[in-house]
Structure 1
Amino acid sequence: MNIWIVTTGSSDVQLKSDESWHDWYDRSSVKRNCENLPFKPIQILEDSDEPYRISPRVLGKVYEAQPEEVWQYLEFPLLRQFTTQLQGNKVTKVYLLVTDQTEKFNEEREDRRCPYWQDTCELQPILERYFKEQDEFRDVELIPIYLSPEKNKPGLDDWNHVLGIVRTAFSEEIKLEPDTVYVSHQAGTPAISSAVQFMSLARFGERVKFLVSNEYEKKPLDPIDSSEYLKGIKFEQAKALLSNHDYAGVELLVKDYLDFETQILLDAAIQWNFAKFDDFAKMVLQHPDGNLVEKVNDRTKKENWWWTAYEEGYLAVVRLDQKNTVEAMFHSFRAVEGLIREWAVWKYQPQIRDSNPNQPRTLYFHDENINMSTQLRYWFDRFFNKNHSNVGLFGEPLFELLKASLSPGRWHNNSDIKTVAKITKEERNSIFHQLRGLREPELFAAWDTDHAEDWEKRVLSCLIFISEQDPDFDLSRELPLKEVSLISHVHKELKNAIAPNNFP
């Protein structure tokens, strides 16, 4: 089943001649019903073969008064081309978009420049007769759709408002799911034309074919497949999703248009968004860009046991940008606590293993093959689990292990790590044992900060403290975690690839 959506305007119904116009217009009550305004047909080009145009509402009223006399003078330059072009395409329904701004312009009609006179609703009987006289369209169901702005709302030349009107009209009037949707959108205001294009693509996607015509050469052009229109719209939408780090949403929109290299980056970024940083890195290593691969290889080598914590920290920043404060709290604390766990595995590898079969993912510290300092022995005895002869590496014991392993001066002179161990850890436990939301001020307060910049810098400061790294991390930057994350390089490449002008 195929349908045709037709916009209408002053170019759809024209006059072959103006010789009888004054008699028609002055006859009966037509002129009086048109506020006695001096309407007359005009030629766009002064040429004897050029048809005449007249305000559609006026033409409709003149036709209503003397239909048979007027009919023989009517010309349908666009519709005639399109109906000829669609012969054999088995169109079963024609949706005719006509305008009616009666309510909007109730008091401004004494000016013939008023948009009210350009309304096409009065042309409906003429258009219905035209379709009935075309052999292939005689049995087609003609369904008018009225575009009627309210009195105190913008008119049909307002782009934003018209989009809403057309969206509502499509939703209420077009209930079908046809095989092909032909759309002729050249008539009507630019706002209507744009809205019809957009809503047709949004509703029917690649089933749309646009009918276009060169009116002055009197010939139709080949139908424009919707794929190029749709691709452009999808990439514009994808750009917005990309700016919000919604990589899965980007893939859903533009997967069919991506080259192999871009798909690798997008798949990797999706894994990053799931906090699967090892999988993220492995996927990026498949990319042919040698510089990008070198960055990943350099960051992820075995001695850089700390690298995933920086990705986790930046993921927290992204979640805050997305206004997801609960996950921002989760990932920021997880970055610090998780890095302490990675540090413990790196520093005490012979003593740490998953020794509880009931909790195979929990690591435990065992006092085997080690000469413990006084501080470390005190820590072990304090948190010792008599049933398992070990210490579980989570929560307070994990923080205290870091503290016991460092010189007292290093720990006590760093306000950031002390804040997390004393305040953030407790706030985290309280927040994650409640079924409620989390406001931004509460997130910042849990880290003893007042705003996002200080919160981010505190997270990064803790990561640097734990990893004992001194790379070129510039804490004065506005978004320091972005600068040190691998995803920032991938995101930059994706941003360049997703730009619509890269996909002609």
Structure 2
Amino acid sequence: MASILLSFVGNQDPISGPTDAEGSIMTLLRELVARQIEIKKVVLLYTTETQKGAEDTRDWIATEAELKQFEVELIPTSAALSEDPTDLLAAAQEARRGLKIVKTQFTEGDSPKERLRQRIEFNASSGTPAMKSALSMLQAAGYATQGRVWQVRNPKKLRPGQERVFETDVTVLRQEFDRQKLRQLVAEYNYSGALDLVAQCDLTIDETAIALLKACKTWNQGQFQAFYEQAEFKLDKSQKNQTKTYWWQAYEQGCTAVVRLKQGNSTEAMLHSFRAVEGLLFEWVKQHCSEHIKDGKDEFAYDQVNISIARQFPDLKEHFKSGTNPWQNLARWMNLKILECAAPEVFDDPDFRGWLNADDRRNQLSHYLGGISEKVLCQAWSVGNGEEWEARLLRCLNLLAEQNFGTFQNGALLPVIHHHLEKALAP
């Protein structure tokens, strides 16, 4: 298995003045050879201050019988790192640059099978603390999955039973990076990305958190009933009872619109906000006029309303087709006509009028290519900003559902499950 050694050069290379012993680069090379690890190349990163040490290290390697066959490449670091060798960001940037160079040399002339067997040996004991940390961070962050991080102990500080050269396990550090990324993905409501990260990384995640992640992913796909069934174990009695109402999924749809706006997707926010109100209007009619309504034949067919409803609301009779068929499609316009007859006061509500006025804009915008900006979304709803839009949407749903939720945090179930998920993933 061929390896390339990547290391910064420190002031103790190639020989340490305080110990009068070989520095960490030479010591590590001898140890790798002793372990019968095939070395393909040695790549050394040096600053202005350590250039002489880098050249001396290269020359020293060339004089050693067991090491002289190794090709040594010296790479100068940036002026920024030379000016301040303690700059962690500059050290990390140079470490990444060195890693890219190493990876390029690995792929040149090597077969795919050979590439799978290659390793990068990181020497994390030469250079300033920033340089040493940078190499460990590269490995922990997953930039070199086939890399190994090595430490070389000061020979004068060795204790009984300690090895002079040993491999550092950065798994714990890498897992912490992955956990931070996982929590960030959840904070952004990117549940699919979070599940993908868990599958790709060696993370130990509580089964409850996995179950909640899967439930939230289902919610993000708009499958609210399936979401409830997956997340039911974390809901209290009143929250479970909420799912027995005709209106509960409208709040999930409205919450979806709010989440999409938080994600910067105002086009989908527009879509879901209208689906929430329009869908709830449909459910309101079915709830209040159920004796006149029958289900459509399949999910692509309209439900049907019977002309018998005109006995209760005579103004509706003119909207039925002439002939012997007493049924009419329960389309959006018919829902509005029924609502106007059954609850005319709704049309005096400023928030509902805002939704009605925006509906014309929605239809117009739907025929255009391209996205819908947050500004246009708010203009369509006759509000000044996203917070006012969210409040207007919530009040529209409260009006039709005859509820009094103050926020979507109370009205929808997703925020409840999202909170439980964040607690399960907390440090």
Residues 147-171 of structure 1 show CA distances to partners (whole Å, capped at 9, x for unaligned) of 22369x9854433344334334433
CA distance 1:133–1:403, change in 2 (3 Å): farther
Higher Cα Rg, which structure: 1
Picking from 408, 412, 415, the partner of 1:485 is 412
1:76 aligns with 2:22: yes
CA distance 1:85–1:204, change in 2 (3 Å): farther
1:372 aligns with 2:311: yes
CA distance 1:134–1:338, change in 2 (3 Å): farther
Using the alignment, how far apart are the partners of 1:295 and 1:390 within structure 2? Answer: 38
Q: Which amino acid aligns with 1:414?
A: D
- Alpha-carbon contact 1:380-1:391 (below 8 Å) kept: no
- Alpha-carbon contact 1:147-1:166 (below 8 Å) kept: no
Using the alignment, how far apart are the partners of 1:348 and 1:468 within structure 2? Answer: 16
Q: Which residue of 1 aligns with 2:92?
A: 163
What aligned pairs does 1:12-411 form with structure 2 within 5 A after superposition? 12-15=13-16, 43=18, 50-51=19-20, 75-86=21-32, 87-88=34-35, 90-100=37-47, 116=48, 118=49, 120-132=50-62, 137-149=67-79, 155-175=84-104, 176=106, 177-179=115-117, 180-204=119-143, 206-215=145-154, 216-218=156-158, 219-220=163-164, 222-255=166-199, 256-257=202-203, 258-285=205-232, 287=233, 289=234, 292=235, 294=237, 296-300=239-243, 302=244, 304-355=245-296, 360-367=299-306, 370=309, 372-374=311-313, 377-379=314-316, 381-382=318-319, 384=321, 390-406=327-343, 408=344, 410-411=345-346
TM normalised by structure 2 equals 0.84
CA distance 1:217–1:384, change in 2 (3 Å): farther
SS of the residue 1:366 aligns to: strand
Greater alpha carbon shift after TM alignment, 238-247 vs 208-217: 208-217
- How far is the alpha carbon of 1:311 from its aligned partner? 1.5
CA distance 1:15–1:264, change in 2 (3 Å): closer
CA distance 1:403–1:196, change in 2 (3 Å): farther
Residues 190-216 of structure 1 show CA distances to partners (whole Å, capped at 9, x for unaligned) of 433333333334454543332123324
SS of the residue 2:241 aligns to: helix
- How far is the alpha carbon of 1:321 from its aligned partner? 1.1
- How far is the alpha carbon of 1:326 from its aligned partner? 0.3
Q: Which residue of 1 aligns with 2:4?
A: 3
- How far is the alpha carbon of 1:249 from its aligned partner? 1.5
Using the alignment, how far apart are the partners of 1:338 and 1:197 within structure 2? Answer: 54
CA distance 1:261–1:293, change in 2 (3 Å): farther
Using the alignment, how far apart are the partners of 1:78 and 1:467 within structure 2? Answer: 72
Picking from 423, 436, 440, the partner of 2:374 is 440
CA distance 1:461–1:372, change in 2 (3 Å): farther
Using the alignment, how far apart are the partners of 1:273 and 1:328 within structure 2? Answer: 13
Using the alignment, how far apart are the partners of 2:318 and 2:310 within structure 1? Answer: 14
- How far is the alpha carbon of 1:135 from its aligned partner? 6.0
- Alpha-carbon contact 2:277-2:396 (below 8 Å) kept: yes
Q: Which residue of 1 aligns with 2:391?
A: 457
Greater alpha carbon shift after TM alignment, 432-441 vs 181-190: 181-190
Aligned residues: CA RMSD: 3.0
Identity %: 24
- Alpha-carbon contact 1:145-1:173 (below 8 Å) kept: no
Using the alignment, how far apart are the partners of 1:351 and 1:91 within structure 2? Answer: 82
- How far is the alpha carbon of 1:461 from its aligned partner? 0.3
SS of the residue 1:212 aligns to: strand
- How far is the alpha carbon of 1:443 from its aligned partner? 0.8
- How far is the alpha carbon of 1:244 from its aligned partner? 1.2
Structure 1: runs of 5 or more not aligned: 17-42, 44-49, 52-74, 101-115, 475-479
1:424 aligns with 2:358: yes
Residues 52-80 of structure 1 show CA distances to partners (whole Å, capped at 9, x for unaligned) of xxxxxxxxxxxxxxxxxxxxxxx323234
SS of the residue 2:306 aligns to: coil
SS of the residue 2:79 aligns to: coil
- How far is the alpha carbon of 1:343 from its aligned partner? 2.1
- Alpha-carbon contact 1:186-1:193 (below 8 Å) kept: yes
TM normalised by structure 1 equals 0.72
Using the alignment, how far apart are the partners of 2:296 and 2:93 within structure 1? Answer: 62
- How far is the alpha carbon of 1:350 from its aligned partner? 4.3
Q: Which residue of 2 aligns with 1:30?
A: none
- Alpha-carbon contact 1:340-1:398 (below 8 Å) kept: yes
Using the alignment, how far apart are the partners of 1:170 and 1:387 within structure 2? Answer: 79
Q: Which residue of 2 aligns with 1:64?
A: none
Tell me the matched-pair count: 407
SS of the residue 1:186 aligns to: coil
- How far is the alpha carbon of 1:126 from its aligned partner? 2.4
Using the alignment, how far apart are the partners of 1:154 and 1:392 within structure 2? Answer: 76
Greater alpha carbon shift after TM alignment, 169-178 vs 435-444: 169-178
Using the alignment, how far apart are the partners of 1:8 and 1:198 within structure 2? Answer: 17
- Alpha-carbon contact 1:444-1:452 (below 8 Å) kept: yes
Residues 242-279 of structure 1 show CA distances to partners (whole Å, capped at 9, x for unaligned) of 22111112222234522211100111111111122112
